[in-house]
Amino acid sequence: MSKDGMDKLSQLGQPTELPKSPEVAVIESVPNGHPETDYVVRFTSPEFTSICPITGQPDFAHLVIDYVPDASLVESKSLKLFLGSFRNHGAFHEDCTVTIAKRLEAAIAPRWLRIGGYWFPRGGMPIDIFYQSGPPPENLWLPDQGVAPYRGRG
């Protein structure tokens, strides 16, 4: 592998089809240039979609993923493709949110990770799902996720 780790990437820099399901999606990583430093990486997906496994109706969420990397960083195109693979995937909100967290943990082994899944209501009630791998590192600047409590998601 090259020093920068870019030669192992299979999706970045070339046309890549959306994976058919989250199970077959590949989350790739690159080396962290500052593994000795605690800092937060944030990914926001304000238009995440999946399918209700019972009704087949679309579900929409605003996802906020924060993590403190260790040796590896998530390669962003692979994350976008992974998240997009949920578009035709039937699963409840809880399963989608926790599955994303666990797949990220398996792919990059971060020092710390949290995900906020702010789901838009169907049937009149939003269902928000929160996952955190443990307490954040000490002295870490951790901004609020910035998603308003439901009131039309402001």
Positions annotated as catalytic residues are 52, 59
* Boundaries of every domain in the chain: 41-132
Q: What pLDDT, on a 0 to 100 scale, did the predictor assign at position 3?
A: 46
- The fold of 41-132 is GTP Cyclohydrolase I, domain 2 (3.30.1130)
137 confidence band (pLDDT: 50, 70, 90): very high
Q: How far apart are CA 127 and CA 111, in angstroms?
A: 27
pLDDT of 150 above 80: no
Which is it for the CA torsion 79, 129, 68, 111, positive or negative?
Answer: negative
What Cα–Cα distance (Å) separates residue 13 from each residue in 3, 16, 25, 154? Answer: 18, 9, 17, 35
pTM of the model: 0.90
Q: What pLDDT, on a 0 to 100 scale, did the predictor assign at position 13?
A: 67
67 CB-near residues (< 8 Å, 6+ apart): 40, 41, 74, 104, 108, 110, 111, 112, 113, 114
Q: What pLDDT, on a 0 to 100 scale, did the predictor assign at position 50?
A: 97
pLDDT of 144 above 80: yes
Quick: pLDDT tens for 38-89.
999 999 999 999 999 999 999 999 999 999 999 999 999 999 999 999 999 9
Quick: pLDDT tens for 106-116.
999 999 999 99
